[in-house]
Amino acid sequence: MVNLETNKNAAERAQIALGRAEFTVAAHRLEQLPPDAGVEVACAGRSNAGKSSALNALSGRKDLARVSKTPGRTQQLVVFVLDPERRLVDLPGYGYAAVPLDLRAYWGQLLQRYFDGRGALRGLLMAVDVRRGIGEYDRIMLTLAQERGLPAHVLLTKSDKLGRGAAAKALQEARAALEREFPDARAQLFSASASTGVDEARGVLAEWLGL
- Supply the minimum distance, in Å, between the C-beta of residue 61 and ligand GDP: 13
Residues 170, 197: contact at Cβ < 8 Å? Answer: no
Residue 182 identity: F
Burial class (CB in 10 A: 0-12, 13-18, 19+), 96: middle
Q: Tell me: does residue 158 bind ligand GDP (CB under 6 A).
A: yes
- The site map against ligand GDP for 180-199 (x = CB under 6 A) is -----------xxx------
Is residue 127 near ligand GDP by the rule CB under 6 A?
yes
Residue type, 80: F
Among residues 9 and 56, whose Cβ is nearest to ligand GDP? 56
47 binds ligand GDP (CB under 6 A): yes
Q: Which stretch binds ligand GDP (CB under 6 A): 46-54, 99-107, 139-147, 170-178?
A: 46-54
- The C-alpha angle 96, 120, 174, rounded to 5 degrees, equals 45
- Could you tell me which of 210, 205, 211, 171 has the C-alpha nearest to residue 89? 205
From residue 13, alpha-carbon distances to 4, 83, 84, 197, 205 in Å are 14, 12, 16, 16, 10
Tell me: does residue 123 bind ligand GDP (CB under 6 A). no
Q: Are 141 and 147 in contact (CB under 8 A)?
A: no
Which position among 12, 160, 184, 199 is part of the footprint of ligand GDP (CB under 6 A)? 160
Verify binding: residue 161, ligand GDP, rule CB under 6 A.
yes
d(CA 152, CA 109): 20
Single residue of 10, 18, 42, 49 touching ligand GDP by CB under 6 A: 49
Question: What does DSSP say about strands 121-129 and 22-27: parallel, antiparallel, or unpaired?
Answer: unpaired
Q: Should residue 53 be labelled a site residue for ligand GDP when binding is judged by CB under 6 A?
A: yes
66 to 105: interface string for ligand GDP, x by CB under 6 A: ----------------------------------------
Helix (H) or strand (E) holding 114: helix 101-117
- Return the range that interacts with ligand GDP (CB under 6 A); candidates 29-37, 40-48, 137-145, 181-189: 40-48
* Stretch near ligand GDP under the rule CB under 6 A, chosen from 42-50, 78-86, 98-106, 200-208: 42-50
Name the site residues for ligand GDP (rule: CB under 6 A): 45, 47-53, 127, 157-158, 160-161, 191-193
